[in-house]
Chains A and B, each alone.
Chain A
Amino acid sequence: MELQALIYIFVGISFSIYIAIAVWARAGSTKEFYVAGGGVPPVANGMATAADWMSAASFISLAGIIAFKGSDGGAYLMGWTGGYVLLAMLLAPYLRKFGKFTVPDFVGDRYYSDVARTIAVVCVIFISFTYVAGQMRGVGIVFSRFLQVDVNTGVMLGMGIVFIYSVLGGMKGITYTQVAQYVVMIFAFTVPAIFLSLQVTDTFLPQVGMFGQTAFEFSNGVQTIEKGTFLLHALDQSVNDLGFNNYTEPGSVFNMFMLTIVLMAGTAGLPHVIVRFFTVPTVKDARISAGWALVFIAIMYTTIASVAAFSRVNLIANVQNVDYKQFVNGELKKADGTTNDGNWFKTWEQGGLLAWNDRNGDGKIQYANGAAFAGKPAFDGTKTAEDGHRLTTNGAGAPTEAELKANNGIANEIYVDRDIMVLANPEIANLPNWVIALMAAGGLAAALSTAAGLLLVISASISHDLFGQVIFKDKATGKSTLTEKSELRLARGAAVVAILVAGYLGINPPGFVAQVVAFAFGLAAASFFPVIILGVFDKRMNKEGAIAGMSVGLTFTFVYIVYFVFMGGAKEDYLFGIAPTGIGTIGMIIHFVVAYFVSRATPPPPQEIQDLVESIRIPSGAGDAVDH
């Protein structure tokens, strides 16, 4: 069947399921809207959490990052899974026992302060919006590639779908939709991975195949790698020959260490993840549900690591020293006699995410360490060379002596955007059309589920925390003067506004979506993670300590990232050589230290707060998530 028709069918069916679920699970109260009524079974909640967590970045980009970074990429794998251990043991059970709707709820109540609550609301909104901008862009890219529409049209379509199920269904709708999305997503990721694993290593399970032996012989341009070589040896040998760092060795152990910590603490401190644990019935369920979430995430992440290794080998084996014209026309054969069809190369070149610059003029593609263009390739309109490849205006000149010497006589001629590795993989490996169609449905599920979860957190922060708990707070009773109905209406309104802003950010992305993700994790690690841990584990922690800790930790992290990422601070000036991506670790430590000393120098929290902490620590009697 035609690829395009298959894609329409797969995407169409999966979307109908999501919308049907959303209509079925329509939210009727604020409690259903914010925390799904607190009645989601742990396995379903774990699956929904996994879908919420695994974004377009995980589905589309992560394998690409690891494929090109090798061992350094392990920081993402460990950070984005290890955070759940912290979440399960240090945060989730106590927050569930606390039993409110949002993270600012906890910060505001535990620290008996609207200043703390407002700082928390601002953080939630900032962190969630940086995140959601990337998601909407991801939706746009997948739509544009697979439905062959304009990226902006893709973003609009995505907004429409998210609108239906987050505005109508609230958390209840989102949770059950996400269960379906997880199933679609995991199926879409593992099926191609199994095909790849069989093809590259003759092993069924990708997690095992990654450590297996190659099923074919290939040339990396410098030497021939025999069939039956261990895959990791083949990779280490090949990337080494081509002038890259070894695949299995980290570039800088210290920076990998800092980054892993920031990603772990940041994961545990992300509001849209934490809020998930308000939706289960009991404290015990909150613990179990974190376990299930990690099971479902682990299936995906261990597969991602394997796909990364397969795709790097495939890339080297399939493009090294091939004649461009014959390659894209599908006239080349591999060593085992099968066709090496380069149609994918052409497709992504059209999309501008891949480019070739024939620096030595031999008509063949070469791949090695080094830049073939000054930054990203700048295409010369739609102009093409005689052999059909797109012309660029910022290509590097003829290969230099030093470059050839460093890379065993090979000068790099291509630019490969990391984000295409996963989506292009099935095509590179010549997998059947339905597998590619499945990828499209999976990528959309990943991006939409995360976007919906984030939008809900934003709308809850605005309607519940900002309006309900700060602006419309009755000074005398400390309760919100909003009725349940008007708060629900406000929540839906806030969701609509959030979707529009997210859509705007998706269509006009700040040029630095990739960097701002460092922001989200750094800020979460330097703010929510410490403030919640201290709130539970340190009974003596008071509002002065919390406010001081949050402000100092946040400001430090914020300024460091802004200075080095957006204002062009020089690498030489890094504090102890720490990259901005890992600085949240220091921000977190500063937060802990400042909060400790300030709290000890100021009066202890009132008795009722100390009693509240005592009660959070005991699991029984969690009851329902209560309204104010």
Chain B
Amino acid sequence: MTEEKAQAYWKENIRTILSLLVVWFIVSLGAGVLFINQLNAIEISGVKLGFWFAQQGSIYAFVVLIFVYVYKMGKIDEKYGVSE
């Protein structure tokens, strides 16, 4: 693998990780902690939104995030011919 290709691969990897980590931060530390009280004001049939994110929603989101990451990295690996 050439050096430019390796660098391009690494850049794409970083971009993917960063975009997913932004979501990771928003659903957990954002919705579940920093803005929990504001979101708790929104209530849909007994579900207080902030509390839901802190105790349920963030966890489901984490699972989805990892599998999205696996999928996206799989595509990138294939594109650069580094998959196994």
Q: Given the complex, which residues of B lie within 8 Å of A282, measured CB to CB? A: 84
Which residues of A in the span 236-252 have a Cβ within 8 Å of any Cβ on B? 248-250
Are B69 and A89 neighbours in the complex by a CB distance under 8 Å?
A: yes
Are A74 and B29 neighbours in the complex by a CB distance under 8 Å?
A: no
Give B40 Cβ to nearest chain A Cβ, in Å. 6
* CB 8 Å contact bits of A264-295 with B (1 = contact, 0 = none): 10000000000000000011100110110011
* CB 8 Å contact bits of A590-618 with B (1 = contact, 0 = none): 00000000000000000000000010011
Are A74 and B54 neighbours in the complex by a CB distance under 8 Å?
A: yes
Are A85 and B24 neighbours in the complex by a CB distance under 8 Å?
A: yes
Give A428 Cβ to nearest chain B Cβ, in Å. 21
A283's closest neighbor in chain B, by CB?
Answer: B84
A-B contacts besides A74-B36, A283-B84, A618-B9, 9 pairs, CB < 8 Å: A71-B54, A82-B24, A89-B69, A230-B45, A250-B36, A290-B66, A294-B63, A619-B73, A619-B77
Are B69 and A298 neighbours in the complex by a CB distance under 8 Å?
A: no
Are A295 and B51 neighbours in the complex by a CB distance under 8 Å?
A: no
Which residues of B in the span 37-60 have a Cβ within 8 Å of any Cβ on A? 37, 40, 45-48, 50-52, 54-56, 58-60
Q: Given the complex, which residues of B lie within 8 Å of A230, measured CB to CB? A: 45-46
Q: Given the complex, which residues of B lie within 8 Å of A617, measured CB to CB? A: 6, 9-10, 13
A261 at the interface (CB under 8 A from B): yes
Known: A88-B69, A288-B70, A298-B62. A232 touches B48 (CB 8 A): yes
Complex-state Cα separation, A155 to B20, whole angstroms: 43
A-B contact pairs, 14 of them (CB 8 A): A74-B55, A77-B59, A84-B66, A210-B55, A231-B46, A250-B37, A257-B34, A260-B28, A284-B84, A287-B73, A291-B66, A291-B69, A291-B70, A617-B6
Q: Given the complex, which residues of A lie within 8 Å of B14, measured CB to CB? A: 537
A211 at the interface (CB under 8 A from B): yes
Quick one: which of B10, B21, B48 contacts A89, CB cutoff 8 A? B21
Complex-state Cα separation, A90 to B58, whole angstroms: 19
Complex-state Cα separation, A288 to B77, whole angstroms: 14
Are A248 and B84 neighbours in the complex by a CB distance under 8 Å?
A: no
Complex-state Cα separation, A621 to B82, whole angstroms: 8
Quick one: which of A93, A283, A298 contacts B63, CB cutoff 8 A? A298
Q: Given the complex, which residues of A lie within 8 Å of B74, measured CB to CB? A: 284
B23's closest neighbor in chain A, by CB?
Answer: A85
Are B62 and A232 neighbours in the complex by a CB distance under 8 Å?
A: no
Q: Given the complex, which residues of A lie within 8 Å of B21, measured CB to CB? A: 85, 89
Quick one: which of A82, A260, A261, A618 contacts B62, CB cutoff 8 A? A82
Complex-state Cα separation, A256 to B83, whole angstroms: 40
- Main SS class of interface, B: helix
Q: Given the complex, which residues of A lie within 8 Å of B1, measured CB to CB? A: 618
Complex-state Cα separation, A621 to B51, whole angstroms: 44
Are B59 and A85 neighbours in the complex by a CB distance under 8 Å?
A: no
Complex-state Cα separation, A230 to B51, whole angstroms: 14
Q: Given the complex, which residues of B lie within 8 Å of A250, measured CB to CB? A: 33, 36-37
Known: A617-B10, A618-B1. A284 touches B77 (CB 8 A): yes
Complex-state Cα separation, A74 to B35, whole angstroms: 13
Q: Given the complex, which residues of B lie within 8 Å of A301, measured CB to CB? A: 59
Are A78 and B28 neighbours in the complex by a CB distance under 8 Å?
A: yes
Give B24 Cβ to nearest chain A Cβ, in Å. 5
Complex-state Cα separation, A282 to B74, whole angstroms: 12
A49 at the interface (CB under 8 A from B): no
Q: Given the complex, which residues of B lie within 8 Å of A213, measured CB to CB? A: 46
Complex-state Cα separation, A473 to B73, whole angstroms: 38
Are A232 and B46 neighbours in the complex by a CB distance under 8 Å?
A: yes
Q: Given the complex, which residues of B lie within 8 Å of A81, measured CB to CB? A: 58-59, 62
Smallest CB-CB A-B distances: 8 pairs? A74-B54, A230-B46, A291-B66, A305-B55, A248-B51, A620-B82, A211-B47, A78-B28
Are B29 and A257 neighbours in the complex by a CB distance under 8 Å?
A: yes
Are B33 and A74 neighbours in the complex by a CB distance under 8 Å?
A: yes
Are B46 and A253 neighbours in the complex by a CB distance under 8 Å?
A: no
Instruction: Report which residue of B46, B59, B60 has the largest number of chain A beta carbons within 10 angstroms of its beta carbon.
Output: B59
Known: A287-B69, A302-B56, A617-B13. A233 touches B46 (CB 8 A): yes
Instruction: Report which residue of A88, A253, A257, A302 has the largest number of chain B beta carbons within 10 angstroms of its beta carbon.
Output: A88
Quick one: which of B6, B52, B63 contacts A618, CB cutoff 8 A? B6
Quick one: which of B36, B50, B55, B62 contacts A85, CB cutoff 8 A? B62
Are B83 and A248 neighbours in the complex by a CB distance under 8 Å?
A: no
Give B23 Cβ to nearest chain A Cβ, in Å. 9
B16's closest neighbor in chain A, by CB?
Answer: A89
Q: Given the complex, which residues of B lie within 8 Å of A82, measured CB to CB? A: 24, 28, 58, 62
Q: Given the complex, which residues of A lie within 8 Å of B66, measured CB to CB? A: 84-85, 88-89, 287, 290-291, 294
Known: A294-B62, A620-B82. A77 touches B51 (CB 8 A): no
Q: Given the complex, which residues of A lie within 8 Å of B60, measured CB to CB? A: 298, 302
Q: Given the complex, which residues of A lie within 8 Å of B10, measured CB to CB? A: 617
